[in-house]
Amino acid sequence: MSQLSTITETLISGDGEALQKLVQEALDAGIPANTILNDALISGMDIVGAKMECGDMFIPEVLMAAQAMSESVEILKPLLADGQSSVVGKVIIGTVKGDLHDIGKNLVKMMLESAGFEIIDLGVDISPEDFVKAIIDNKPDIVGLSALLTTTMPMMKKSIQTIEESGLRKNLKIIVGGAPVNQAFADEIGADGYAPDAGAASKLAKSLLQQ
C-alpha cells in the first residue's frame, strides 16, 4: 500500500495519533503537503462521507475521523502557507446557521490567513443576525459563508438578504462555498463569488479586493 493510501485508511479508522505520525513520515519522505492534503486527507473524508451515507460509518466514528483530520492539518499548516505577511484585507468567515461542519471552513481560513488576510472566524451555526453584528463590529472587506448541507444552503441566501436589509452590503464582498454549493447557486443568491476549494477561495478573495 502506498504512503498516501495508508494515510487515507488511517484517517478513516479515526486513529489520530497514528495519522499524525504517518503524515509526518510522508513529509519526511518528500511528499508535498498539498498532495497529502488533497490526495490522502480530503479524499479520505470523501470516503468517510460515502460510508456515512450508506450506513457503514456512524456519527461518533465520523467525528473521530474529523478530529484526526483537523490534528493532521495542523502539521501541514505551516507548509501550506505562501509566506506572505502583510495584511491584504479583513475577512469574516463562518458556517451558516443549522450547520456544524467546519473542516472545510477551517481550511479556507488557513489558506486566506496564509495569503495575508486577517480572519475573524465566527465558528459554526452562525445566524444571519450574528453575521450582521460581526460586520458592524469588525468592518470586514469580505464575508465568507460556508455550508455543507443542502438543508442549510437556503440559510446562505437568508444571510445575504439580512446583510443587505441591514444596509451593510455596499463596499462588502460576500463569497460562498461548501460541497453542495456551486456557481449557479452563488449567482442565484446574489453572492459576489463562489470557490470550490480553499485554494480557489484565497485566489477569489484576492481578486475581489483588486476590483
Least Å distance between CB 59 and ligand B1M? Answer: 5
Q: Quick check: 122 binds ligand B1M (CB under 6 A)?
A: no
Q: Confirm if 77 and 71 have CB atoms less than 8 A apart.
A: no
Residue 46, all three cell numbers: 470523501
Cα–chain-centroid distance for residue 66?
13
Q: In the Cβ-directed half-sphere of 22, how many Cα atoms lie within 13 Å?
A: 23
Torsion on CA atoms 123, 163, 151, 60, rounded to nearest 10: 10
CB of 125 to ligand B1M, least distance (A): 7
Give Dmax over CA atoms of the chain in angstroms: 56
101, 109, 157, 173: which one contacts ligand B1M (CB under 6 A)?
101
* Distance of closest approach, residue 169 Cβ to ligand B1M, in angstroms: 16
Stretch that binds ligand B1M, among 23-31, 44-52, 132-140, 156-164 (CB under 6 A): 44-52
Of the residues 5, 24, 34, 46, which one makes contact with ligand B1M according to CB under 6 A: 46
- To the nearest 5 percent, what fractions of the chain are helix, strand and coil? 60, 15, 25
Q: How far apart, in whole angstroms, are the C-alpha atoms of residue 28 and residue 20?
A: 12
- Nearest CB to ligand B1M, comparing residues 25 and 46: 46
Residue with smaller CB distance to ligand B1M, 31 or 194: 194
Rounded-to-integer distance, Cα 183 and Cα 194, Å = 6
The contact mask relative to ligand B1M for 170-199 (x = CB under 6 A, - = no) is -----xxxxxx--------------x-xx-
Q: 31, 36, 66, 80: which one contacts ligand B1M (CB under 6 A)?
A: 66
Instruction: Please state, in angstroms and rounded to a whole number, the distance separating the CA atoms of residues 182 and 3.
Output: 32
Q: Does 100 bind ligand B1M (CB under 6 A)?
A: yes
Sheet holding 173-177, edge to edge: 117-126, 89-96, 142-146, 173-177, 193-194
Q: Using CB under 6 A, which of 18, 149, 168, 172 touches ligand B1M? A: 149
Binding site for ligand B1M (CB under 6 A): 42, 45-46, 48-49, 52-53, 59, 62-63, 66, 93, 98-105, 107-108, 144-146, 148-151, 175-180, 195, 197-198, 201
